[in-house]
Amino acid sequence: MTSFDLRARVAAILATVLPLAECGTSQTNADPCDGNCSVCPYKPVDFSATYFECDAGDDASVSNDCFATCVPACNAHKPSSAPCKDNIGICSTQCTITSEDAGVATAQCSILQICGRRTAGIDEPRAGESDDVLARYLAHAAWLEAASVKSFRRLVRELTHHGAPASLVAAARSAARDEIRHARIMTALALTHGASVPKVFAEHADVRSLEVIAIENAIEGCVRETYGALVAAWQAATAQDPAIREAMSVIARDELRHAELGFEIADWIEPRLDRAARDRLASTRRDAVRELSRDVRAMPPGELLSSAGVPTPHVAAALVARLFADAA
């Protein structure tokens, strides 16, 4: 799949899969819920984490046993089955402290995949807990948009360093400006729901080799961001919250351009790699699609299904299968 057929494919997918938004209308075997969302076998990745509590001003990253909030504690205790275990893509960590005694806390944790572009060296956010699952989702989405600003700014520097065409550099710079606007939109929504948005912390970023850039672009651009653009379009059509629906309508259009940029960058870089590097890149892209297919099996909480329009597992699986039908 190249950038030239991406818009047509997304439009066709939405036209054929949108009926799945009403649970039970699917007539295909791709529906593991068998028409009944309440008994769908896919569940969120839930687990508990016990840890020592630090003072609020302490650096929660100094020890895997001492944390200021339950979010980083859950991230540090992810089971092997949790999405984003290997820090590919972005996950929303949701948690509730269930017990506290003498500085020791136990939290109930849940991991939910959120797709978007991230570059290496960006730390996962440390956000305060909230009882409102939608507020946590919006805060994490706002953080992701802000993280994408740094990702695209790094991409601008690296494309310029490697002599990429001016059109690609300009498109990456425009994408960074888009993400600034997206971050403002999602932050406003998060604040409306009473959530605070964590800051983005990124390490100093050196210019990387073309192969390393291509690998990250394959995962984050050609797979994760492409799927994220499709999900944003899905949310724009199905979210019951009018403010979220309006926000995703704006974001979906921009994210589709960013996904196209990912394929355009791949088209420019790949001919400059040797055969072995191109083979490794093709394998990476296939692995990223398979990883995404596994990650979308977590059932999102009901508030995200309805208000935010996050797709159910059977819908998400259908979106992935149709979007990457030729990526096997």
With contact defined as beta carbons under 8 Å apart, do 28 and 310 qualify?
Answer: no
pLDDT computed for residue 264 by the predictor:
93
Q: Which residue has the higher pLDDT, 325 or 214?
A: 214
pLDDT computed for residue 82 by the predictor:
64
User: DSSP class of residue 202?
Assistant: B
DSSP-assigned beta bridge partners for residue 105: 51, 100
Q: Establish if 183 belongs to a structural domain.
A: yes
- Residues 6+ away with beta carbon under 8 Å from 121: 202, 203, 204, 205
The strand ranges marked E within the chain are 45-53, 66-67, 90-101, 104-114
pLDDT tens per residue across span 241-290 = 999 999 999 999 899 899 999 999 999 999 999 999 999 999 999 999 98
Cα 107 from chain centroid (whole Å): 23
Closest by Cα among 129, 137, 112 to 71: 129
What is the distance between the alpha carbons of residues 252 and 175, in angstroms, rounded to a whole number? 13
Q: Establish if 258 belongs to a structural domain.
A: yes
With contact defined as beta carbons under 8 Å apart, do 230 and 10 qualify?
Answer: yes
Q: Establish if 287 belongs to a structural domain.
A: yes
With contact defined as beta carbons under 8 Å apart, do 151 and 220 qualify?
Answer: yes
pLDDT computed for residue 323 by the predictor:
86
Which of 122-126, 145-149, 174-178: highest mean pLDDT? 174-178
Model confidence band, residue 315 (pLDDT cutoffs 50, 70, 90): confident
Q: Establish if 66 belongs to a structural domain.
A: no
pLDDT tens per residue across span 80-135 = 766 555 443 445 566 788 888 888 889 888 765 444 455 555 555 544 455 688 99
The strand ranges marked E within 174-220 are none
Q: Establish if 57 belongs to a structural domain.
A: no
pLDDT computed for residue 218 by the predictor:
93
What is the distance between the alpha carbons of residues 74 and 69, in angstroms, rounded to a whole number? 9
Mean predicted confidence (pLDDT) in 179-191: 94
Closest by Cα among 190, 179, 163, 197 to 71: 197
Q: Establish if 148 belongs to a structural domain.
A: yes
Give the CATH number for residue 223: 1.20.1260
What is the distance between the alpha carbons of residues 108 and 46, in angstroms, rounded to a whole number? 7
Q: Whole domain around residue 165: which residue ranges?
A: 3-43+132-323
What is the distance between the alpha carbons of residues 111 and 83, in angstroms, rounded to a whole number? 7
Q: Establish if 65 belongs to a structural domain.
A: no
Q: How many domains does the chain have?
A: 1
pLDDT tens per residue across span 16-68 = 666 544 433 333 333 333 434 333 333 457 788 888 887 655 444 445 568 87
Q: Establish if 109 belongs to a structural domain.
A: no
What is the distance between the alpha carbons of residues 52 and 105, in angstroms, rounded to a whole number? 6
- Proportion of the chain above pLDDT 70, given as a percent: 74
Q: Which residue has the higher pLDDT, 270 or 8?
A: 270
Residue 278 sits at the vertex; the CA angle it makes with 275 and 284, to the nearest 5 degrees, is 145
